[in-house]
Amino acid sequence: MFESKEVFERLLFLSFGPSVKLKQARLVSAGNINQGVFLETSDGQFFLKTNFEESEDIFEKEADGLNTMRAHCPLKIPEVYHFGREESYNFILMEWIDAEKATSTYWQELGLGLAQMHMATQNDFGYKSSNYIASIPQQNQPNHSWSDFFVRSRLDPLIGRAYYEGLVDLDFLKKFQKIYPLLEDFFPKEKPSLLHGDLWSGNIMRGKSGIPVLIDPAVYFGHREMDLAFSRMFGPFEEEFYEAYDTFFPLEPGFKDRVPVYNLYPLLVHLLLFGKSYLPGIEKTISKLLS
């Protein structure tokens, strides 16, 4: 895929017509799901992301998420120029972000920007359509109750899939489902917030002049603590981020105690994507809840 200059030229033609010519292409990332390519053209620089997932709308949903965040978030969000499917692969063509050294206020700006985005709300938890977190389908059926949404649209579909794929046995499936009644009054009562949905260090960047940039969303309207809990899963962001967020949009007491429960969802996502090495973290949280 990467070595095919003709592919890149065809995608540029589909996006901009014949006026934009390819000068060079360079592979910049190659993960488990997506390949990222830097394109230098006669009309500037672009970022091309491709994959071979069967889901033909995966980048349509990503583009929608980026556009939704841009409408409600003061932080930098990359522009989307085109997306679709060609032959056997999906693609999305976006603005190229030059990474620069973070400013001294980078983490504060990120915390304040996220807090402002979280103030965007709607009547129900969920979203206008289902989408994806990484390559995992993400259900977003509207629900008035956060705890019910968290169980029905986040936990239960993924633990069920994990059982179907042989990643957990029937005994653990039943044990996992025993926590559902315990979650009914577990979370603070708050309005739905617009979430990034996949907020970890790999999905934030330092853009021009070191400003924060949000990429790769899995948006929906959920409990805002979901984003903040996710940010702590693979090593927390700098403390200035959390302090700035809390000064603008204070959290209810006990947030850190709720973090492992929120993170059952991203742990289940990683269990499905990468295997049983993520199961012990899930087991630990379930056992603590049931003890």
CA distances from 153 to 146, 160, 211 (A): 10, 11, 34
Nearest to 181 by CA among 150, 223, 221: 150
Catalytic residue among 64, 198, 216, 227: 198
261: which 2 tokens? Answer: 């429960």
Establish whether 257 is a catalytic residue: no
Question: Are residues 164 and 197 in contact, defined by beta-carbon separation less than 8 angstroms?
Answer: no
CA dihedral 39, 40, 44, 50 (to 10 degrees): 0
- Cβ atoms of 66 and 217 within 8 Å: the answer is yes
| First-last CA distance in the chain | 51
Q: What angle do CA 232, 236, 239 make, to 5 degrees?
A: 125
Q: Which of 239, 237, 236, 234 lies closest to 281 in space, CA to CA?
A: 234
Amino acid found at 177: Q
- Residue 229's nearest CA partner among 132, 118, 135 is 118
Where does the chain show beta strands of DSSP type E?
Answer: 22-30, 35-41, 44-51, 80-86, 89-95, 131-133, 136-138, 193-195, 204-206, 212-214, 220-222
> Mind telling me the catalytic residues?
198
